[in-house]
Copies of this chain bind each other. A is one copy, B any other.
């Protein structure tokens, strides 16, 4: 990679530029660094320095910085400008980005901006803002070319040349009927090589995929991933085309959803970053730990029930975490397989229920292998064959339970529209701990005379 950005060096340059107040230096920085990297430095400036630095840039450069900034920085930057200045800056941004920013501003400011805008602009923005942030409409681009199917190639080319400078998608033209309903797509290269008199209708390729504007962005993302789509049109209730989702629009969605999954499995709220401040991290993690503490008490209460047994055969205390720990591990294996399949929309409770039999089989087989090793070790250590047999049996039973719960729980949560990545791990551990202790210590109590 030729382009390289060093935070400290860039920070020095920006600091120097602010101290000297040199517009030329500001332009140079902008020419040599990507705005993503400039934003990283700007995040750490105080408000006065930030405003002074931005003061040296033109609206297009400011638009660039705003588009790539984190939400907090975006709002701060927007705060420096009057309604009129903001509308000027917005003219260099995509509608999707403008709508995102407007959604972050105070209602009064947002209304003021929309009132001052050209009607044609504000109508599109109001339409986008009327949908949920996480909806298909929230990530679509509205800068695409749509043409009526009755146009000829020559007429189409003239229109395309006119619209081209302000459009984001140029390589495909979306063809509609008079009610703006999508009839299909024409590839720009087809138009380039076709004779001028041909009607567009002759070149149209049908495109059976679309999503409604209020569908979840994850559904749109899954469709694009599964069918390797270049474009996914977004339509309103009357099936008129409102926008288009492209494969680069879903990259952020995918990254977001995946990170949410990993963080959820780890028991952290989705907005925590590695460099979040201390109190943000406490807020993100402590509630989850408190919930976990309750389940830990449940497991502990099960052990308490058998204190009498343990006091007579204290080896049980050393052996019991093996049963619960291994159950947790086996359950997490089943869980992680189901979670990745759910994320790709490949598995469902109705269709794949019979696969739980495989999990039961795996629990028996893996449990028997692991239980056999554990049993042999315990037998050798304590010279009691019953202790070995008990851990063997408990291991199989607990791993079967772990497999069933690890497999069914996320499917059940998904069916109930509860995020399976957030809810499954904690319940799974509760099951494997409570059942593991109960089965192992219960068997030991029953066979207590043999263990003494």
**A336–B2 CB distance below 8 A:** no
Contact string against B for A residues 272-287, beta-carbon threshold 8 Å, 1 for contact and 0 otherwise: 1111001001100110
A93 on the B face (CB < 8 A): no
Given contacts A268-B336, A300-B318, 18 further A-B contacts (CB under 8 A): A1-B209, A164-B193, A165-B193, A171-B188, A188-B188, A254-B255, A254-B258, A265-B265, A266-B335, A267-B332, A267-B336, A268-B337, A273-B341, A274-B352, A278-B361, A282-B362, A303-B318, A307-B314
Chain B: minimal CB distance from A142 (Å): 17
A387 within 8 A of B: no
Question: B residues within 8 A CB of A248?
Answer: 228, 230, 247-248
**Is residue A96 within 8 Å, beta carbon to beta carbon, of the partner chain?**
no
Instruction: Determine the chain B residues whose CB is within 8 A of the CB of A429 once the complex forms.
Output: 325
Is A41 an interface residue, CB under 8 A from the partner?
A: no
The B-contacting residues of A in range 122-139, CB under 8 angstroms, are none
Q: How far is the CA of A343 from the CA of B262 in the complex (A)?
A: 11
A329 to B429, CA, bound (A): 11
Contact with B along A328-343 (1 / 0, CB 8 A): 0110110111111101
Q: Are B2 and A255 in contact (CB under 8 A)?
A: no
- Which residues 268-324 of A sit at the B interface, judged by CB distance below 8 A? 268, 272-275, 278, 281-282, 285-286, 288-290, 292-293, 296-297, 299-301, 303-304, 307-308, 310-311, 314-322, 324
Contact B275 A326 (CB under 8 A): no
Is the beta-carbon distance between B326 and A293 smaller than 8 angstroms? yes
| Stretch among A55-63, A70-78, A104-112, A365-373 lining the B interface | A365-373
Cβ-defined contact, A161 with B193, below 8 A: yes
Q: Does A99 belong to the interface (CB within 8 Å)?
A: no
Q: List 7 A-B contacts (CB under 8 A).
A: A246-B247, A250-B251, A254-B254, A266-B339, A274-B355, A308-B314, A317-B320
- Give chain B nearest CB distance to A101 CB in angstroms: 16
Establish whether residues B433 and A325, one from each chain, have CB atoms under 8 Å apart when the complex forms.
Answer: yes
- CB of A88 within 8 Å of the partner chain: no
- Which residues on the B side are within 8 Å of A224 (C-beta)? 251
B-side contacts of A433, CB under 8 Å? 321, 325
Contacts of A358 in B (CB 8 A): 278, 281
Q: How far does the alpha carbon of A255 sit from the alpha carbon of B211 in the complex, in Å?
A: 21
* Residues A272 and B2 in contact, CB atoms below 8 Å apart: no
Residues of chain B within 8 A of A361, CB atoms compared: 278
Q: Which of A348-364 contact B (CB under 8 A)?
A: 352, 355, 358, 361-362
Given the interface pairs A2-B210, A210-B2, A255-B344, the reply to whether A299 lies near B315 with Cβ below 8 Å is no
Q: Which residue of B lies closest to A346 (CB)?
A: B274
Cα separation A288 to B290 with both chains bound (whole Å): 30
A347 within 8 A of B: yes
Q: Given that A296-B325, A337-B274, A340-B262 are known contacts, is A209 also in contact with B352, CB under 8 Å in the complex?
A: no
Instruction: Give the chain B neighbours of A347 by CB distance below 8 A.
Output: 274
Closest B residue to A421 by CB, please name it.
Answer: B262
Tell me whether A225 and B208 are in contact (CB under 8 A): no
Within 8 A of B (CB), among A364-401: 365-366, 369-370, 373-374, 377, 381
